[in-house]
Amino acid sequence: MALGRGLGAILDEVGQAYESEVGDVVDRGGQIREIDLDEITPNPYQPRKHFDQTALQELSESIKQHGLLQPIVVVDKGDSYLLVAGERRLRAHELAGMETIKAIIADVDIDDLKLRELALIENIQREDLNAIELAHSYDELIKVYEITHDKLAEFVNKSRSQITNTLRLLSLSEYAQAKLVNGDISQGHAKVLVGLEASVQRRLVDTIIGQKLSVREVEQLIKRSKGKESLESSPQKEVSFIQKHEANFSGKLPFSFKLKSNTIEIKFKNEEEIEKFLSMIN
């Protein structure tokens, strides 16, 4: 399945609408109209789940003062209009209490697969997604189109390492992912937590937030923790009873001797030393 097939007409029309006068858009087969908000159905494949309320409020105020500079894009479905681009602008209008919105009615037939792809690509290219939403978008594109990281990197104009590192965030615990989405920890923090146990991730996330640790400080903390665990988990060499008392033997035996396991081997130089040893025993 080829990524991007069938979207050229839609993307081209969106570009024309933003760069041309209304008359030019109509001449090309598109229409720009004011349509009721309650006639618009959101894109069910919208990958973006988290919308910054402060940013939405700012956009809403801007639209009330200056109007909508870039129309949303919809497709006429007969009894309603299906939104294909501009959910933030639509939400900002709702927040402002407006009843209508300026929209491009794209004269393009679009199926579910193209709708999903357009929603993913628009958000990726506009960098509207948080790190977790972006990771899910990458993952969905890879699975739906059965492509490699290299192919996806080429299509979305990102490096392969960026694609791979972002996808690795999906292995984080739900707790860590939630804190990343909320902005409590950075993507840099999240990357160094990948691969750790969920309980360890939770403890480190709370430490990062509570102590405002930098990524470098977290890396050092993890390194020290792993070193300590390695030391504690390494098997301790058994020390024999003789070895525990080696110092006492050295101070009390005036002979040459060798300690081995739980035995002591004494070497006598002459008969005199043997007699001396026997007298010590007596």
Q: Return the pLDDT at 59.
A: 82
What integer pLDDT is reported at residue 202 of this predicted model?
Answer: 93
Q: Number of folded domains in the chain?
A: 3
Residues 178 and 251 both lie in one domain? no
Tell me the per-residue pLDDT of 17-26, one tens digit each, with 9 for 90 and over. 444 433 343 4
pLDDT of residue 208: 92
pTM across the whole model: 0.52
Structural domain that includes position 250: 241-281
Judge if 261 and 226 occupy the same domain. Answer: no
Per-residue pLDDT tens digits for 120-161: 666 666 556 788 888 888 888 788 778 889 888 887 778 899
Average pLDDT taken over every residue of the chain: 75
Distance CA(148)–CA(154), nearest Å, equals: 10
In a domain, 79, yes or no: yes
Query: Residue 80 has what DSSP assignment?
Result: S
Residues 6+ apart with CB under 8 A from 5: none
Q: Identify whether 44 is part of a domain.
A: yes
According to DSSP, the residues that pair with 32 across neighbouring strands are 104
Alpha helices in the chain (DSSP H): 8-19, 22-27, 53-66, 87-95, 112-126, 131-145, 149-156, 160-168, 174-181, 187-193, 198-211, 215-233, 241-244, 246-252, 271-281
What 3 state SS string does 164-177 have?
Answer: HHHHHHHHCCHHHH
Domain co-membership, 61 together with 105: yes
pLDDT at 174: 93
pLDDT at 242: 56
Please report the pLDDT score of residue 225 as a whole number: 80
User: Does one domain contain both 15 and 90?
Assistant: yes
Measuring CA to CA, how many Å separate 281 from each of 71, 126, 257?
Answer: 105, 91, 16
Q: In terms of C-beta density within 10 A (0-12 exposed, 13-18 middle, 19 or more buried), how is residue 85 classed?
A: buried
pLDDT of residue 8: 45
Give the pLDDT confidence score for residue 260 in this predicted structure: 67
* Statement to judge: residues 225 and 250 lie in one domain: no
- In a shared domain, residues 86 and 43: yes
Residues 229 and 246 in one domain: no
Predicted pLDDT at 172 = 94
Residues 247, 219 within the same domain: no
Residue 137 is assigned to a structural domain of this protein: no
**Residue 256 domain-assigned?**
yes
Q: How far apart are CA 51 and CA 54, in angstroms?
A: 9
Q: Is residue 73 part of a domain?
A: yes
The residues of the chain scoring below 50 in pLDDT are 1, 4-11, 13-29, 231, 234
